[in-house]
């Protein structure tokens, strides 16, 4: 039987005694009960796990001037944003839609930074009208357009340049962003020139520098390398007479999916701050944009076994969650642990855990050892980040419901989408 010791991630998601044996719980709430009450697939998050992940960053920055801007693309559900807004976080956004969500969740626009390579004029306008804290600009063309839009509104846009430090984050190629071949940021070599251009534009006010080298980073060295490169540039830009008020080191810290051993946020920042102090930048205003490390291990996705199907080469465990709910395995061959919420005795069988979507790529886990029968509920672990926020309606599958657990209370924070919801904006053509 799976024990708590083998579960990656959060101490708030663990097996605990139940009248029928050990059942998986999120905080004080039994997941078998939640699945019965709300149906499956169902995402369940722990508020305590999110706040404890945040606390590691807060400890790391104690005594410093630092803003934590939650990269909400990881999980943009309103109640999740509300938890971070109430804890004092700002937000890293990448679209006008995300900004609208921040406001709906009670976030402070002044603590919002706007990243992304393709901001439209309409999004720039919306962000300027809302009074966001900073635009992380990724190209010269964007600088010109942003200056134009801001001038039109009679304001100056606060900008930071996202510099590509050309550092290998040693992660999956799809989520590595700090290398020369990536579409992100402005090259280190051209950065000074681009800063000078930014400083000359009437609609812009240069306030900072930014970098983000990738995601699911499990080593400290790439961060230290990127920091060195960025600090070299700060010195160069300031020598040219342009003041850099804040330094934003992006997000990217990895989580434990399957025995991964990323540094804790406070340990990582102890090392980074030592370098910053040594180079004389320890008292600067700092910003970070963590996403996955704040929510990834705070959530699970519950899914019911529909059928088991023995095969000649493989046995399949067909569940009611699919690539539209949990796209990471199909997209990145990502690994998520899958465990029963109420372990049963019986013969262990090796299964591929797959969804009902009509694609061979619709798998959630390969070669998993499970004791299961149809009707059992499984929990896909480490599903708090980049799962619900990347979910789709492929195969006209309504998106899952979501529950946020706070102690012994389970709050339904998103209703399950019905088929009608999925086509509510569509129209038949007239005849």
**Considering beta carbons, is residue 71 or 401 the nearer one to ligand LLP?**
71
- How near is the Cβ of 20 to ligand LLP at its closest, in Å? 35
Relative to beta strand 112-114, strand 90-93 is: parallel
**Considering beta carbons, is residue 25 or 336 the nearer one to ligand LLP?**
336
**Considering beta carbons, is residue 194 or 217 the nearer one to ligand LLP?**
217
Residues that bind ligand LLP (CB under 6 A): 71, 74, 92, 115, 175, 177, 212, 215-216, 250-253, 289-293, 328, 332, 386
**Annotated catalytic, 69?**
no
Q: What's the CA gap between 14 and 131, in Å, rounded? A: 42
| DSSP assignment string, 40-57 | SSEEEEEHHHHHHHHHHH
Query: SS3 for 161?
Result: strand
Q: Which single residue is written with the structure tokens 């010791």?
A: 5
**Considering beta carbons, is residue 7 or 93 the nearer one to ligand LLP?**
93
Of 69, 134, 211, 358, the active-site residue reads 358
- How near is the Cβ of 175 to ligand LLP at its closest, in Å? 5
**Considering beta carbons, is residue 289 or 406 the nearer one to ligand LLP?**
289
- How near is the Cβ of 71 to ligand LLP at its closest, in Å? 3
Query: Which residue in 292, 263, 270 sits closest to 92, CA to CA?
Result: 292
- How near is the Cβ of 245 to ligand LLP at its closest, in Å? 19
CB 15 within 8 Å of CB 24 = yes
Strand partners, 131: none
Q: What's the CA gap between 400 and 387, in Å, rounded? A: 10
CB 339 within 8 Å of CB 381 = yes
**Burial of 178: CB neighbours in 10 Å, binned 0-12, 13-18, 19+:** buried
CB 199 within 8 Å of CB 192 = no
Q: Which residues are catalytic?
A: 358
């Amino acid at each position: 039987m799976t024990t708590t010791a083998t579960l990656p991630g959060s101490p708030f998601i663990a097996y605990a005694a139940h009248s029928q044996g050990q059942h998986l719980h999120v905080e004080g709430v039994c997941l078998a009960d939640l699945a019965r009450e709300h149906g499956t697939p169902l995402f369940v998050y722990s508020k305590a796990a999110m706040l404890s992940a945040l606390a590691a960053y807060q400890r790391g920055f104690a005594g410093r001037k630092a803003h934590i801007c939650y990269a909400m693309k990881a999980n943009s559900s309103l109640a999740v944003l509300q938890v971070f807004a109430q804890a004092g976080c700002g937000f890293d956004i990448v679209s006008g839609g995300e900004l609208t969500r921040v406001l709906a969740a009670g976030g402070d626009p002044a603590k919002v930074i706007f990243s992304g390579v393709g901001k439209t004029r309409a999004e720039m306008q919306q962000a300027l009208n809302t009074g966001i804290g900073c635009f992380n600009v990724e190209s010269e063309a964007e600088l010109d357009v942003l200056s134009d839009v801001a001038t039109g509104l009679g304001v100056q846009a606060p900008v930071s340049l996202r510099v590509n430090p050309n550092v290998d984050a040693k992660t999956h190629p799809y989520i590595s962003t700090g290398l020369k071949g990536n579409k992100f940021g402005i090259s280190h070599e051209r950065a000074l020139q681009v800063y000078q251009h930014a400083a000359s534009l009437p609609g812009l006010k240069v306030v900072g520098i930014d970098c983000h080298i990738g995601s699911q980073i499990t080593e400290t060295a790439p961060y230290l390398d990127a920091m060195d490169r960025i600090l070299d540039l700060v010195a160069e830009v300031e020598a040219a007479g342009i003041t850099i008020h804040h330094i934003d080191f992006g997000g990217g810290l990895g989580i434990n999916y399957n025995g991964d051993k990323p540094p804790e946020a406070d340990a990582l920042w102890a090392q980074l701050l030592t370098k910053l102090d040594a180079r004389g930048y320890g008292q600067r205003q700092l910003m970070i944009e963590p996403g996955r490390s704040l929510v990834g291990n705070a959530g699970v996705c519950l899914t019911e076994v529909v059928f088991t199907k023995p095969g000649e080469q493989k046995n399949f465990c067909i569940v009611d969650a699919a690539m539209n709910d949990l796209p990471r395995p199909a997209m990145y061959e990502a690994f998520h642990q899958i465990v029963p919420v109420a372990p049963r005795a019986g013969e262990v069988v090796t299964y591929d855990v797959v969804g009902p979507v009509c694609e061979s790529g619709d798998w959630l886990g390969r070669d998993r050892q499970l004791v299961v029968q149809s009707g059992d509920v499984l929990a896909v672990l480490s599903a708090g980040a980049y799962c619900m926020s990347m979910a789709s309606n492929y195969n006209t599958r309504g998106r899952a419901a979501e529950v946020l657990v706070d102690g012994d209370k389970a709050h339904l924070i998103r209703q399950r989408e019905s088929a009608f919801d999925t086509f509510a904006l569509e129209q038949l053509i007239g005849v």
